[in-house]
């Protein structure tokens, strides 16, 4: 019997190695798997590369992980928020490497990784500072740059409902990066508000089919309080 549901955080975080590339879902705080991030801090893996749209708010979740000093590099589109104090401090002190990626290029690089595409051409960022060092090519009269796929060792995902096969649904705009990150990592770890019986999810509403999911932890935390 397939059962991807794990009983505790230690089981969810088992085997995450130092030096891992960790994809973390969410847009701002919505859809960001804060319980799993706390679990990763507890687990202790270091020298991490984190891929996330933002760089954390206040001192919780992603910001708390950065504060531990275990993140060597962050790949994100928008490290500025109302309160990015932890990231800004580390960045100014030269204690964290930043790769700024256009948001759509970031999503597409992970989609490519999940779909077996090693690299792709895009017009986004042509002629800008973010194209520096990238191959440029003209195709049918328009200029493009070559962007590499972006794969993770681990993805941390927040879902709304999950079953034991790892089928997932999401809540409103908390879907955001979660489904595409789930496809792009070797090990995809999910925190879900609700665990349901196999067969209870409407197959028409499953947004992430279970094949992309490795482990599911039940985390019924309620409503997000910040954006």
Residue 221 lies near another protein (rule: CB under 8 A): no
Q: Which of residues 139-158 bind another protein (CB under 8 A)?
A: none
Residue 78 lies near another protein (rule: CB under 8 A): yes
Reported residue count of the chain is 227
For another protein, give the closer residue by CB, 6 or 90.
Answer: 90
Determine phi and psi for 56, rounding to 5 degrees: 95, 150
Minimum CB–partner distance for residue 10 and another protein (Å): 28
Residue 4 lies near another protein (rule: CB under 8 A): no
Stretch that binds another protein, among 10-18, 38-46, 64-72, 124-132 (CB under 8 A): 124-132
By CB under 8 A, name the one of 24, 51, 63, 110 that touches another protein.
110
Residue 129 lies near another protein (rule: CB under 8 A): yes
SS (H, E, C) the chain: CCCCEECCHHHHHCCCCCCCEEEECCECCECCCHHHHHHHHHHCCCCEEEECCECCCCCCCHHHHHHCCCEEEEEECECCCCCCHHHHHHHHCCCCEEEECCHHHHHHHHHHHHCCCCEEEECCCCCCHHHCCCCEEEECCEEEEEEECCCEEEEEEEEEEECCCCCEECCHHHCCCHHHHHHHEEEEEEEEEEECCCCCCCHHHCCECHHHCCEEEECCCCCCCCC
For another protein, give the closer residue by CB, 9 or 107.
Answer: 107
Residue 73 lies near another protein (rule: CB under 8 A): no
Stretch that binds another protein, among 40-48, 87-95, 132-140, 213-221 (CB under 8 A): 87-95
Residue 179 lies near another protein (rule: CB under 8 A): yes
Binding footprint of another protein on the chain (CB under 8 A): 27-28, 30-31, 53, 55, 77-82, 84, 87-88, 91, 98, 100-105, 107-108, 110-111, 122-130, 170-180, 207, 223-225, 227
């Amino acid at each position: 019997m397939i059962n991807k549901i794990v009983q505790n955080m230690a089981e969810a975080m088992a085997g995450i190695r130092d030096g891992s590339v960790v994809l973390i879902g969410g847009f701002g705080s919505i859809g960001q798997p804060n319980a799993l991030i706390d679990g990763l801090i507890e687990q202790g893996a270091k020298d991490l590369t984190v891929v996330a749209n933002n760089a954390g708010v206040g001192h919780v979740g992603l910001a708390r992980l950065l504060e531990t000093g275990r993140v060597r590099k962050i790949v994100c589109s928008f490290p500025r928020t109302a309160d990015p104090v932890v990231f800004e401090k580390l960045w100014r002190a030269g204690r964290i490497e930043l790769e700024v990626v256009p948001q759509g290029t970031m999503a597409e690089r992970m989609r490519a990784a999940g779909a077996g595409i090693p690299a792709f051409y895009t017009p986004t960022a042509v002629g800008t500072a973010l194209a520096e060092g990238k191959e440029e090519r003209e195709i049918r009269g328009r200029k493009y740059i070559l962007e590499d796929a972006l794969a993770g060792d681990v993805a941390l995902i927040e879902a709304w409902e999950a079953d034991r096969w790892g089928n997932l649904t999401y809540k409103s705009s908390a879907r955001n990066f979660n489904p595409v990150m789930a496809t792009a990592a070797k090990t995809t770890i999910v925190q879900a508000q609700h665990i349901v019986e196999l067969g209870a999810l409407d197959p028409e509403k499953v947004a992430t089919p279970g094949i992309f999911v490795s482990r599911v932890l039940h985390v019924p935390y309620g409503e997000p309080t910040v954006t």
